[in-house]
Structure 1
Amino acid sequence: MRILVFISIIIASVGLQSCNSTVKSVYRDDFRSASEAEIKNIQKEVGATNSNKSILILTQTYKGEKIIISQNRKAIFSEYPITNLKSRIANYLSVNRNFDVHIKDISTKKEVVIPSKKIAKHKYIYIMKKVTKGKFQYIISFSNILRPLK
């Protein structure tokens, strides 16, 4: 009986480890950097010139579905972004480093939460949607380097 319980625990733990998470976080500073002029222009455009702001960048696989981004229970973004195939950027905006970011995708009914602890350490946060076999996964890349957006 103990052997059956032990085997079932091992099978359950292996099964849980093989489940795909809907959110994956990576830390990357190996992007080709944007020029200083572009960095200043983007930061000024979105109001992220001071140290308590980061820039959230929606990148690949956005096809016009409604995305709602909120902080401190207030919607700061509610649009239908579409990824530009040339730049691979859908949209970008500034977020306050002191509050968690909640990203809600209406079409997939998924919500991603980025804790303020992680936001505070990085100036740029790239959010990519990846589709594998009909399932969506969000890949969040934290960086202190802005890649060229235009």
Structure 2
Amino acid sequence: MEYHEAVARLAPCGLDCSRCADFRDGEIRALSARLKELLGNYQRLAAMKAAGRPEFAHYGQFAAILDSFAAAPCSGCRGDNVTCPLDCTAKTCHKDNGVDFCFQCGEYPCDKQFEGKLRDRWRSINDRMREIGAAAYCEEQGKLPRY
């Protein structure tokens, strides 16, 4: 993986936007859209199956969640449509400091980012990127489940 690919996939704080369920260019969105396409009008069959298999009585809820995954709207933290629920100053701070990632900043680790366990995770991610590089870190993360 090239460095520029890691920058496109990773948020400035180091979280992997590309593996997020809300990322519009991510694999979860693509696979969800494909599953939605393959299931087509499965609602009718699910209703018939519900008599013998009660879990199918809730197919509508599953379909609504699948629709949400298939319509993932987030551009990632470097884009123009950020829907990430994390309150992260790195989305703008990295631009002000002229760096791609927090660990590259002369002020790292600063007090601007997160608190508690989330701060510990942020530090761990950025320390690992500093150790092996952003591209290698991105490849490493790509082998793990996001959630």
> Shorter-chain TM-score category?
under 0.3
- As a proportion of its length, which structure holds more strand? 1
- As a proportion of its length, which structure holds more helix? 2
Length-normalised TM-score, structure 1: 0.25
Length-normalised TM-score, structure 2: 0.26
